[in-house]
């Protein structure tokens, strides 16, 4: 994809996501800053913040769990290199602790793909599996939404016993909801 294609896809993705009723009524959203070839998320983060939504962003801990901090605009991000892993953009302000995600009305999840059942394929580090398990233990049930390109919605992805389906996938061309989540 060209830089223009990536920018257009990010804007379309933000537009589609902002139409979700779950995001329209959300007061707190746990999200992430896209990296590498992931669909861009900054336009969406800024639009949520402009609506008055409290946006939480992850900070990777040494054990691959996630801490959280508030998003206060692109200038509040730091590029953090985690050993041999890719560099991530993380909130530079106060850390709120791993349990801060339990206050989220919506959790926006990264992924490599999602299938027709709503099962998400992650990068394999287990960070978001821990987040989803933390939400389950806390007895909270935020909407779980994956942000992907259209080509990343596939027929089937591998699944393990701890995997949980998402409620919806948002792509630049639209939203697909899943019943079993």
Q: Is the pLDDT of residue 6 over 70?
A: yes
Q: How far apart are CA 45 and CA 97, in angstroms?
A: 20
Q: Check the annotation: does 126 bind a ligand.
A: yes
Partner residues linked to 55 by β-bridges: 29
Q: Is 33 annotated as a binding residue?
A: yes
Per-residue pLDDT, 145: 97
Domains and their CATH numbers in the chain: 3-177 (3.40.50.10420)
Rounded CA-CA distance 28/65 in Å is 20
Across 142-154, b (16+ Cβ under 10 Å) vs e yields bbbbbbbbeebbe
Q: Is 139 annotated as a binding residue?
A: no
Q: What is the pLDDT confidence band of residue 48, given thresholds at 50, 70 and 90? A: very high
Residue 121: the pLDDT is: 92
- For residue 181, is pLDDT > 60? no
CB of 32 closer than 8 Å to CB of 110: yes
In a 10 Å sphere around its CB, with 0-12 CB exposed, 13-18 middle and 19+ buried, how is residue 25 labelled?
exposed
111 annotated as ligand-binding = no
pLDDT tens per residue, range 9-47: 999 999 999 999 999 999 999 999 998 888 999 999 999
- Exposed/middle/buried for 58, CB within 10 Å: 0-12, 13-18, 19+? buried
Q: Is 123 annotated as a binding residue?
A: yes
- pLDDT band for 180, please (50, 70, 90 cuts): low
Each residue's pLDDT tens digit, 74-129: 899 999 988 776 789 999 999 999 999 999 999 999 999 999 999 999 887 889 99
Residue 159: Cβ-neighbour burial (10 angstroms; 0-12, 13-18, 19+): middle
Residue 69 annotated as lining a ligand binding site: no
Please check if 74 is assigned to a binding site.
no
Residue 149 assigned as binding residue? no
Task: Give the contacts of 27 (CB within 8 A, at least 6 positions apart).
Answer: 53, 54, 105
* pLDDT in the model for residue 114: 95
More confident residue, 15 or 179: 15
Say whether 146 counts as a known binding-site residue. no
Q: How far apart are CA 107 and CA 102, in angstroms?
A: 9
Model confidence at 61, pLDDT cuts 50, 70, 90, reads: very high
Residue range 3-10: average pLDDT? Answer: 86
């Amino acid at each position: 994809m060209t830089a223009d294609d990536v920018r257009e896809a990010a804007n379309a993705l933000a537009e589609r996501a902002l139409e979700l009723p779950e995001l329209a009524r959300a007061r707190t959203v746990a999200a992430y800053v896209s990296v590498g070839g992931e669909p861009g998320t900054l336009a969406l983060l800024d639009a949520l913040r402009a609506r008055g939504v409290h946006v939480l962003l992850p900070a990777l801990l040494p054990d691959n769990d996630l801490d959280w901090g508030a998003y206060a605009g692109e200038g509040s991000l730091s590029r953090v290199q985690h050993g041999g892993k890719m560099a991530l953009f993380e909130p530079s302000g106060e850390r709120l602790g791993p349990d801060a995600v339990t206050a989220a009305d919506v959790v926006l999840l990264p992924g490599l793909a999602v299938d027709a059942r709503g099962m998400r394929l992650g990068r394999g580090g287990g960070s978001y599996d821990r987040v989803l398990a933390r939400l389950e233990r806390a007895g909270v049930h935020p909407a779980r939404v994956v942000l992907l390109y259209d080509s990343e919605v596939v027929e089937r992805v591998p699944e393990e016993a701890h995997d949980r389906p998402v409620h919806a996938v948002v792509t630049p061309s639209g939203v697909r909801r899943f019943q079993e989540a």
